């Protein structure tokens, strides 16, 4: 993660007294940067879900999630807990590995795409010269996971659903990539 160089040098100077190697310090720096980023993303998602439920309840003139804890902030945690305790049903004739790895292949590129997104002036997790191209390449892996999850169930209707989801993902991805690349080509001098 790139912060102001003085800040990183000050932190390095603080840890210098602990006799840590530079490689270990850099590993800790990246690890805690990723941890802080994932924590911020998780809290942001929780707040957005809470706001969506409150606003949609107000629009529909019904009771929102305000009874689960103070102001309803525990409702998202209860939903996550319910999701963790759900039974994982795998089709009897389905491929166990494809069925379980497919959703992971969908989620992992989304988290990896945050590596190259700048969050402020000199605040970026991985400063790559090809950041836009890396982002497009990583996000292009998602349709493969959708296809794997549909094919892994060994059901023609699930496979058609996975094929449809992958086609939708690709159809949105192509114009997005063209727009992003045209702007990045315009910015290069």
Instruction: Reply yes or no on whether the pLDDT at 64 is more than 70.
Output: no
Q: Is the pTM of this model over 0.85?
A: no
Structure tokens that stand for 61 in this block: 């003139």
- Under the banding of pLDDT at 50, 70 and 90, the label for residue 13 is low
CA distances from 81 to 54, 85, 176 (A): 20, 6, 35
Asked which of 31-40, 61-70, 76-85, 150-159 is least confident by mean pLDDT, the reply is: 61-70
CA dihedral 31, 100, 46, 110 (to 10 degrees): 60
- Under the banding of pLDDT at 50, 70 and 90, the label for residue 87 is confident
Instruction: Reply yes or no on whether the pLDDT at 103 is more than 70.
Output: yes
Round to whole Å and give the CA distance between 124 and 140.
Answer: 22
């Amino acid at each position: 993660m790139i912060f102001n160089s003085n800040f990183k040098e000050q932190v390095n100077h603080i840890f210098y007294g602990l006799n840590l190697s530079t490689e270990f310090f850099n590993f800790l720096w990246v690890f805690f940067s990723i941890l802080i980023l994932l924590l911020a993303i998780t809290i942001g998602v929780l707040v957005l879900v809470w706001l969506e439920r409150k606003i949609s309840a107000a629009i529909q003139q019904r009771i929102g999630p305000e009874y689960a804890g103070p102001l309803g902030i525990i409702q998202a945690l209860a939903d996550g807990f319910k999701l963790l305790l759900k039974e994982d049903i795998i089709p009897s004739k389905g491929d166990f590995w494809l069925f379980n790895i497919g959703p992971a292949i969908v989620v992992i590129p989304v988290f990896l795409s945050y590596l190259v997104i700048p969050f402020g002036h000199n605040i970026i997790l991985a400063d790559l010269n090809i950041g836009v191209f890396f982002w497009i390449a990583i996000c292009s892996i998602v349709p493969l996971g959708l296809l794997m999850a549909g094919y892994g169930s060994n059901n023609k209707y699930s496979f058609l659903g996975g094929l449809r989801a992958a086609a939708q993902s690709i159809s949105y991805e192509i114009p997005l990539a063209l727009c992003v690349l045209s702007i990045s080509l315009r910015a290069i001098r």
